[in-house]
Every structure is written in structure tokens, then in C-alpha cells.
Amino acid sequence: MWQALRGAPAGLVGWLSSRLPPCLVPLLAAQCRYVSGFRLRRAQQLYTERSARALIRGLRGRARPGRTGRLLAALTGAFLWEEERVREEEIRRSAEDMQHMEVVAHTFQGLDSPVQIPVSDGEQSWELVIDKKDFKLWKRPIEGTHLYQYRVFGSYMDVTPRQFFNVQLDTEYRKKWDALVIKLEVVERDGVPGSEVIHWVTHFPYPMYSRDYVYIRKYHVDQENNLMVLVSRAVEHPGVPESPDYVRVRNYQSQMVIRPHTSFDENGFDYLLTYSDNPQTVFPRYCVNWMVSSGMPDFLDKLHLATLRANTMEIKVRDYISSRPPDCSTEARASPERKIGSAHTATPMDYA
């Protein structure tokens, strides 16, 4: 009888319970609860990450890029690294941009005319915004939006690439030198070294609400070609739901490339930072443009000063190249530390 009831419609169960002796009705209810609970647990088991990946393969090509991963992450409660992970292609393109920029800078070296960035057919042209000896900032419109993409090419001669990189990526130290940070933490680490999801909450100018970013970052050090690359872009993570206290920034990406003049542990390097985000403000376009174009140089100045201060005061920060990658099953496990002035081999960074 109970076996038959497992597939019975709810109406049939109700009809049957009305005709059973009163002493058997609680047993019927308990059995139905058991069957329903079993089916619910079974459904949850089926929607594991492995099942989600299989579903992704079936849906790929029929859904808009990125939508599938976000939907399945919401269903499973798991972050799908295979969908969201920064690809080697993204790292390679960033390195090629740096190589291209170096050629441009070398071509215009010693000339009085502003450095212009050549573009491919169909691309928007770059407009020079700030032109200084060791710092140049361009912008260009992002097609179909009211937003701009920004590009900075600059140099520092008084700190090493390793120092500059470690200071920026060390989330604990940044909470001390960046007064705009409200919250900054590693949410989850990938099994691939140098890849992690970050939650960053930052103050915005009054009267705007504070903004929060959830983004994945991946850093790569190419010692053979003397190059460091960091790629960051916004993602959605089921462990960081939106908060009514902040405005979530869903459109954000940056690529930072560092080229040491000599080695990772000797003073002097060039860097290329390409950045864009949508802060979701109601302010006119020129206001947003002013905030970003002035905020980037200000951030880089603070980062540079924090690097100098850490070196002078021998503040301990994590060494992202020498230390063993953290256990990716933990979120904020204490990491190895070292004095920032010590020597070793280096790594990259991001504007976020």
C-alpha cells in the first residue's frame, strides 16, 4: 500500500486519508513526509557541481555567455571555477598589450608630440587625458555604453617590482594604507595557484552609497620573459549576496602588466594598467569620467607611497611568489610573511 502511495497524486492521498481510520492518518502523514523529504534530498544531491558542469556542456551555445554559470551557481550554491576562471588567453592578451605599448613608447621617446596609441580597424581611438614624463593616461569610449576604458602607462624608479606587487596584493596591509577600504577579503581560492575570488567594499564620494565588488583575480609571473601579469574581472559568487548597504558593481575589469627594467628585485620597472568599470551612478558622464581619471593616479600614488613606507619601516607583507600557495579549502588562513625589503623573485598586481 505504501509503495503505491509514493507516486500517488496529492488529491488521492487526501481522499484516502479521509476514509482511513483516525489511528492510521498520522502514519499516512508521516510516510508522506518521509517520501517528500527523501525526494528533496535526492534532488539536492543531483545538483552537485559535477551535475552542473554536465548541464553547462549541454546548455553551452544556447545561452548568453556568463549567464549559465551564474544560474547554476545560484542553483548549486557553489562557485563554478571552470566557468569563471581567468583563462590563459586573457593573460596572453595582456602581455601582448604591454609589448605593443613598449613599442609605441619607444617610437615617441624624445619627441614633443603626445604619445598616441595606434588602434586596429574598427576599434575606438584613445584620447590622451594626462601626459607627464613618467605617467600617461588615455581613455576611449566603450561601444554601446556611456562608459570609458582607461589605460595608464608609467614607471617607478625607487621601488622593486616585487615590493610594488606584494604591497598591492596583501589584503591585510591594504586595509591599513587605503583609507577608502571598508572591507577586503579573500572569499575563495582556486586549486590553480594565483587564482582567487575577492570581496571588496569601498567608500565613494558623498552623497553616493559605498560600492562593493566581487571579482576574480589571477596573477602570473613569467620569469623567462621578465614579465608579470594580473587580470581581474567581476563575477558573481553565491557566498557573497548583495547587501542593501552597498551598490554592487557588476561590470568591472582590469589588467596590470609589469616589466622590470632589470630584475624583479632591483629598483625600476614600467607598468601598463587597463581598467574599466560601471559604478552605476546617476551623475553625468563627465562627472564619472573625472572621478575615474583622477582616482586612478591618486590610487597609484598611494600604492607607491605605501610601498616606500613598508620598505623603510620593514613592514612584513606576504610574498606572493616565494610562499607556498594557501590551502584553497580555507578562505583566510594566515599566510607566510616576510620583510618587504628582502630579496627573492617577483609577481604582478591589480587596480582594485
Output the pLDDT for position 91.
94
Contact by Cβ (8 Å): 233, 276: no
How far apart CA 170 and CA 108 sit, in angstroms, is: 36
Rounded to whole angstroms, the Cα distance separating 198 from 190 reads 12
Residues 19 and 111 in one domain: no
Q: Measure the N-to-C terminal CA separation of the chain; round to a whole number of Å.
A: 63
Taking the alpha carbons of 29, 31, 34, 38 in that order, is the dihedral positive or negative? Answer: negative
Shared-domain flag, residues 27 and 93: no
Q: How far apart are CA 248 and CA 105, in angstroms?
A: 37
On whether residue 61 sits in a domain, the answer given is yes
CB 195 within 8 A of CB 189: yes
- Residues 100, 143, single domain; the answer is yes
Whether 346 maps to a domain, the answer reads no
Of the candidate ranges 166-175, 223-232, 245-254, 334-343, the one whose mean pLDDT is the lowest: 334-343
Give the span between the Cα atoms of 148 and 129, in whole angstroms: 12
Model pTM above 0.85? no
Nearest to 131 by CA among 106, 119, 113, 144: 113
Q: Specify if 344 maps to a domain.
A: no
Residues 134 and 107 in one domain: yes
Say which residues have a Cβ less than 8 Å from residue 284's Cβ, sequence separation at least 6. none
Residue 349 Cα to chain centre, angstroms? 12
Bin 226: left if φ > 0, else alpha if -120 < ψ < 50, else beta.
left
Q: At what angle do helices 49-59 and 67-76 cross, to 10 degrees?
A: 150
Considering the domain architecture, whether residues 163 and 53 belong to the same structural domain is answered as no
In a domain, 349, yes or no: no
What confidence category does residue 268 fall into, taking pLDDT thresholds of 50, 70 and 90? very high
Residue 94 makes CB contacts below 8 A (sequence gap 6+) with: 229, 231, 255, 256, 257, 274
Q: How far apart are CA 255 and CA 257, in angstroms?
A: 7
Look at residue 30 in the predicted model and tell me its pLDDT.
Answer: 57
Select from 65, 84, 103 the last residue of a domain: 84
Q: Which of 35, 64, 84 is the last residue before a domain boundary? A: 84
Phi, psi of 266 (to 5 degrees): -120, 145
The predicted-structure confidence for 140-162, as pLDDT tens digits, reads as follows: 998 888 889 999 999 999 999 99
Question: What is residue 151's predicted lDDT score, i.e. its pLDDT?
Answer: 94
Residue-range definition of the domain harbouring residue 280: 88-339
pLDDT on residue 312: 80
pLDDT > 50? residue 238: yes
CA pair distance 130, 137, nearest whole angstrom: 5
* Ranges 35-49, 117-131, 241-255: which has the least confidence: 35-49
- Segment 185-203, tens digit of pLDDT: 999 999 888 899 999 999 9
List 248's β-bridge partners, or say none. 212
Q: Closest by alpha carbon to 245, among 296, 182, 195?
A: 182
pLDDT of residue 245: 94
CATH of the domain at 195: 3.30.530.20
Instruction: Give yes or no: residues 270 and 191 share one domain.
Output: yes
9, 156: one domain: no
Of 225 and 341, more confident? 225
Q: Is residue 191 part of a domain?
A: yes
Indicate whether 178 belongs to any domain. yes
Residues 228 and 100 in one domain: yes
Number of domains in the chain: 2
- Rounded to an integer, the average pLDDT of 25-44 is 53
Residues 41 and 155 grouped into a single domain: no
Looking at the fold, whether 255 and 326 belong to one and the same domain comes out as yes
Last residue within a domain, chosen from 84, 114, 142? 84
- Residue 238 counted as domain residue: yes
Do 108 and 52 have their domain in common? Answer: no
- What pLDDT is stored for residue 139 in this prediction? 92
Q: Which amino acid is at 252?
A: Y
* Within-domain flag for 122: yes
DSSP string over 294-349: HHHHHHHHHHHHHHHHHHHHT-EE--TTTSPPPPTT-SS-----EETTS-------
- Same domain for 293 and 174, yes or no, is yes
Give the H or E element holding residue 158. Answer: none
